Amino acid sequence: MTDSQGPGVTLVALDMQEGEANNVRRLFPQRSMPSFDPFAQMDEYWMTPPAGFPPHPHQGFEAVIYVLEGALNHSDTLGNDAEIAAGDAIHFTAGRGLTHSELPVVQGRTHALQLWMALPRADKQCDPDFTYTAADKIPTLDITGGTGRVVVGPGSPLTGHRDLRFTDFTLEKKRRLTVQIEPDHRGFVYVITGRLETAGERLESGEALLFDGIKDLSFHAPKGARFALVTAPPIGEPIRQWGSYVS
């Protein structure tokens, strides 16, 4: 499977352990989908102390971390030291180089999503940066029978080098929703909980639909669902990942 197959490609996240005994569901990279331009990596992860991600270096991409449950501490070589609680989010640009850590700050479970986006070649050596936003600063959408939180996108304090749209949707049982997709964007739908029907596919927790070249997506949640909808324009360049670096 490659990212040139067009709209409607389904993908199942792989269970693994990363860092210090963190349970991770990795959508990509995996053998069947090394990347999906401009997306280099997408993880859903759970941390329970003493697990965590000790200091490690990054380069060549920008990232979003969105906490769903619990809380974690982010610290980095730019001097940032922030506690990110449920509903909060951060955006950081690794650029030419950044070292950071992600460690749990509560005794219970911390649950989060992390997305990496490759930077265009012209921006890979840009200055690293960091932005934090609290849950009450994230814009919400007026949806019948559900909620929508614009983690990154119009109205959100989080911005980056790319026109990223990252929205956390929750639909109640038997509710439906149609979302317009930006004309130059491609992206994916990732189910966090429940079951979701879209584009003729049934997706369960940990499954995704990758799409390209569509105007809108309609969703149906037979028993209720929570899912992330992520879109951005491609960079049109090869994406090569070497551990925590993207070249």
**What distance in Å separates the CA atoms of residue 130 and residue 139, rounded to the nearest whole number?**
19
DSSP 3-state of 230: strand
Q: Is the pLDDT of residue 208 over 50?
A: yes
Assigned domain for 240 exists = yes
Give residue 206's domain range.
12-246
Query: Does the pLDDT of residue 78 top 90, yes or no?
Result: yes
Q: What is the pLDDT of residue 7?
A: 54
Q: Tell which residue, 112, 211, 230, 223, has the closest CA to residue 171.
A: 223
The better pLDDT of the pair 206, 142 is held by 206
Quick check: is 123 in a domain? yes
Give me the percent of the chain exceeding a pLDDT of 70.
97
Q: Give domain status of residue 98, yes or no.
A: yes
- Residues in the chain, overall count: 247
User: Strand pairing of 216-221 and 186-198?
Assistant: antiparallel
- Nearest in space to 102 (alpha carbons), one of 79, 128, 76: 76
- Nearest-angstrom CA–CA distance, 4 and 111: 31
The chain-wide mean pLDDT, for the chain, equals: 93
Q: What is the CATH number of the domain that holds 137?
A: 2.60.120.10
**Among 106, 91, 99, 92, residue whose Cα is nearest residue 46:** 106
CA–CA distance, 124 with 128 (Å, rounded to integer): 10
Q: Is 79 domain-assigned?
A: yes
User: For the chain, first and last CA: distance in Å?
Assistant: 21
pLDDT band at 107 (very low <50, low <70, confident <90, very high): confident
Residue 71 has pLDDT above 70, yes or no: yes
* 6 within domain boundaries: no
- Cα-trace Rg, the chain: 17
Summarised one tens digit per residue, pLDDT across range 122-151 is: 999 999 999 999 999 999 998 999 999 999
Domain annotation covers residue 7: no
When pLDDT is averaged across residues 93-107 and rounded to a whole number, the result is 91
* Arithmetic mean of pLDDT, 89-116: 93
Name which residue leads in pLDDT, 5 or 68: 68
Residue 2: inside a domain, yes or no?
no
pLDDT in tens, 5-50: 345 799 999 999 887 768 999 999 999 999 999 999 999 999 988 8
Other residues' Cβ atoms within 10 Å of the Cβ of residue 16: 13
Mean pLDDT of all residues in 108-128: 95
Q: What is the pLDDT of residue 2?
A: 34
pLDDT confidence of residue 50: 85
Tell me if 44 is assigned to some domain: yes
- In this prediction, residue 3 carries a pLDDT of 38
Cβ distance 101 to 126 under 8 Å?
A: no
Domain count, the chain: 1
Res. 234: pLDDT tops 70: yes
95 closest CA partner among 65, 119, 79: 119
Q: How many CB atoms sit inside 10 A of residue 200's CB?
A: 7
Cα dihedral sign, 151-153-155-159: positive
Is a pLDDT exceeding 80 seen at residue 62?
yes
pLDDT given for residue 4 in this prediction: 37
